[in-house]
Structure 1
């Protein structure tokens, strides 16, 4: 059905009866037709009681796939200069809350905030505004602000949920021993293979399983030369009984091959049954790594 180009009550009612909401909304964009609708007491009542209120309350429109779009059209008509269409204060507030709710429930907080800020004192809109602001970084004042921009997040939890990089005390002692053994270098724990090995250079030599493994694998400790833009020098793995499963044996073989293809050795260290001290680790490293 085409949008009517002049006011015709019967045609208007047909659009409403056929639920051609887009076409009805288009009528409101024509200031001349909108004025005639408002001046017609019967048409005006139908629009107020059947169309506008039902749309805003969502009783008849919530099942429509485009109902949020229709709500947005109402909002834009009300807010855009040049259109005579205006909702009364109560309906506009309901429309704002409806839109904010729709986007909030869809986990689209930014859009919910854009509508909620129209009603900052409304209890729900206030909640949306506060939650949105908690997700936004704030500017930090500092002495170099003329040429460096610095922000910080806000609203952090009172409980620290971070964890250590090290899975065991043995890993930590080994890390300390490496730092002591290589004072001219830096040591990074649990570093991703993909951050220190050129995948493009070796991918043609890898099997499909190895390619997939490459992007989810870590190295326990890597010694890097900071004077060479942190280029890796030595690779170390600290093994345990957890490396005895068939799956882990397969993973270890893939990691060994990847390091080999990258042009390096991978040193694997495993205790023969006792806890290794930091001193023992240091002696071992100095005895075996040139």
Structure 2
């Protein structure tokens, strides 16, 4: 059997060699033949000689030999022979089974990393597809997105709070109806009821364990001196009073950055 392998190898009759190796009984006979080591040595030489000719029949034979050694464990090949086979086959037909053998080959290891990433992404997509019905709306050319802050002062307040309250949830410009139970309207006048559903709060600090709103801050300015705004502020104060929640109104006295001042106020008044 080994002699036939050597003859087919020397005459480059790859199809006949592949046919011989396709029979596992022949392979088991080869594995017990001490002359097989000669075949292995010549095989490596043939790989080196024909590695650039693109002969697919040779690739088929080598893939079969690799399978018999690594997957079926019928043929016992030397480590050097296995590396030669894997190098040749990976270059022609990159796959994980060859890359796993080539632990010192950078291209092969990068190939494995990319395959793992692809596999993870595929699993994640399968999980999402099986659990979520996703529909993403169309997006026009115009962009009407805006900052979550309506003034620089609101941003200063938020940043100051975030620095000292790292574990709490901060909600800027949150609707009153999101943090106050709507049952409160039963205690309000008609105009104040309407205002309740239209109004927001500059900053609400939420307990990260109970997820309940805990501290409420409203920023005042010269804008709040206008008659209409004075009335709105009155209604907002009434809502918080009826809801049993303290509203902290802050108004800066000087035209300068207030982050440090806000930080000091929250540190002194927020009860963790």
TM-score using structure 1 length: 0.48
Give 2:196's match in structure 1, choosing from 210, 214, 219: 214
Partner of 1:226: 208
Q: 1:266 aligns with which of 243, 247, 252?
A: 247
Shift of 1:159: 4.2
The alignment of Structure 1 onto Structure 2 pairs a total of residues equal to 148
After superposition, the Cα gap between the structure-2 partners of 1:204 and 1:153, relative to the gap in structure 1 and judged at 3 Å, is closer
Per-residue CA deviation, residues 168-190 of structure 1 (Å, 9 max, x unaligned), is: 11111111111222222110011
Q: Which residue of 2 aligns with 1:134?
A: none
For the 8 Å contact 2:205–2:214, the answer to whether it is kept is yes
- Write the distance in 1 (CA, Å) between the matches of 2:175 and 2:140: 28
Query: Residues of 2 paired with 1:256 and 1:222: CA distance?
Result: 15
The answer on whether the counterparts of 1:186 and 1:223 sit within 8 Å (CA) in structure 2 is yes
Match of 1:280?
A: 261
1:198 deviation in Å? Answer: 1.1
SS in 2 for 1:144: helix
Alpha-carbon RMSD: 1.8
Determine the C-alpha separation between the residues in 1 that align with 2:138 and 2:230: 44
Query: How far is the alpha carbon of 1:155 from its aligned partner?
Result: 4.0
Q: 1:275 to 1:150 in 2, by over 3 A?
A: farther
Quote the residue 1:253 is aligned against.
234
**Does the CA-based 8 Å contact 2:171-2:204 persist in structure 1?**
yes
Equivalent-residue separation in structure 2 for 1:215 and 1:256 (angstroms):
14
Distance 1:240 1:278 in 2: 16
1:129-148 equivalent positions in 2, closer than 5 A: 142-145=125-128, 147-148=130-131
1:155-175 CA-partner distances (Å, limit 9, x unpaired): 423443200111111111111
Q: 1:212 to 1:143 in 2, by over 3 A?
A: same
Structure-2 residue corresponding to 1:160: 143
* 5+ residue gaps, structure 1: 1-140
Give 1:151's aligned residue: 134
Give how far 1:287 is off.
2.3
3-state SS of 1:191 partner = strand
Question: Which of structures 1 and 2 has the larger relative contact order (alpha carbons within 8 angstroms, sep 6+)?
Answer: 2
Equivalent residues in 2 for 1:228-243, closer than 5 Å: 228=210, 230-243=211-224
What is the distance in 2 between the residues matched to 1:144 and 1:227? Answer: 29
Give the 3-state SS of the residue equivalent to 2:264 in structure 1.
Answer: helix
Q: Which consecutive segments of 4 or more residues in structure 1 shift more than 4 A?
A: none
Q: Answer whether contact 2:218 2:249 (CA < 8 A) is retained.
A: yes
Give me the TM-score of the superposition, normalised by structure 2: 0.51
